[in-house]
Chain A
């Protein structure tokens, strides 16, 4: 079982470049989430999607856009990358009701 798959696993960008992080889940979950985690810190919610066709801002949405392409896929886009966006990005999905989140293994993004 693949669960939540994130691509790429690693990426280095230059300031000002654009990038889309991909996330796909094969568990037929309704909700999907994007978090960032800076070194030694907890996870901060960037955006989430309660269901296909809907997206909402989390704690730190500035500088990011998202697309819930279909029920399986939820992408995160950096239009003009900045060094402050250097982080590890985690995607998660969750089913209806009081079900826990399932996380991917993360994308490690460095912006020079």
Chain B
């Protein structure tokens, strides 16, 4: 299982773009990169997932360089409601027989 490293915390302001980078040097060929968001007193919620290059959905973008040893979650124009913990996960999700391991996450605080 590829280990991930993320910043422990980040601060930003409303309306800014926030980029959270995750390092995963030991990523395997069939590993996907998945990001989750967790609010206090709730379970994690899926944000975005990708394998290479760039993926974009209605809430975020995920940038993955060619070597796939890191990835960057980009949140455009954040608001106070984006204050949460963000987890980067790396694992082979092509089989249901997969352990899915969470790291410590990045605590993002958005200020007015």
Interface residues of A (CB under 8 A from B): 4, 30-31, 33, 35, 41-45, 48, 50-51, 54, 56, 58-59, 90, 92, 94-106
Residues 87-107 of B at the A interface (beta carbon under 8 Å): 87, 93-105
**With A and B bound together, what is the CA distance between A105 and B42 in angstroms?**
5
- By the criterion of a CB under 8 Å from any partner CB, how many residues of chain B are at the interface? 24
Q: Is the CB of B105 within 8 A of A103?
A: no
Report if B54 contacts A (CB, 8 A).
no
Q: Considering the complex, give the chain A residue whose CB is closest to the CB of B92.
A: A98
Q: Considering the complex, give the chain B residue whose CB is closest to the CB of A31.
A: B96
How many residue pairs link A and B with beta carbons under 8 A? The number is 71
**With A and B bound together, what is the CA distance between A30 and B99 in angstroms?**
13
| Contacting residues, chain B, for A99 (C-beta < 8 A) | 93
Q: Is the CB of B96 within 8 A of A51?
A: yes
Main secondary structure of the interface of A (DSSP, over half): loop
**With A and B bound together, what is the CA distance between A105 and B100 in angstroms?**
18
Report if B29 contacts A (CB, 8 A).
no
Q: Is the CB of A98 within 8 A of B93?
A: yes
CB distance from B52 to the nearest CB of A (A): 13
Main secondary structure of the interface of B (DSSP, over half): loop
Q: Considering the complex, give the chain B residue whose CB is closest to the CB of A108.
A: B41
CB distance from B109 to the nearest CB of A (A): 14
Q: Is the CB of A101 within 8 A of B46?
A: yes
CB distance from B43 to the nearest CB of A (A): 3
Report if B71 contacts A (CB, 8 A).
no
Q: Considering the complex, give the chain A residue whose CB is closest to the CB of B87.
A: A42
Contact of A92 among B34, B43, B97, B104 (CB under 8 A): B43
**With A and B bound together, what is the CA distance between A35 and B87 in angstroms?**
14
Contact of B32 among A44, A92, A98, A105 (CB under 8 A): A98
CB distance from B34 to the nearest CB of A (A): 6
CB distance from B32 to the nearest CB of A (A): 5
Report if B83 contacts A (CB, 8 A).
no
Q: Is the CB of B49 within 8 A of A98?
A: yes
CB distance from A4 to the nearest CB of B (A): 8
Report if B111 contacts A (CB, 8 A).
no
Top 6 nearest A-B pairs (CB, nearest first) are A103-B43, A100-B46, A50-B97, A98-B93, A43-B102, A31-B96
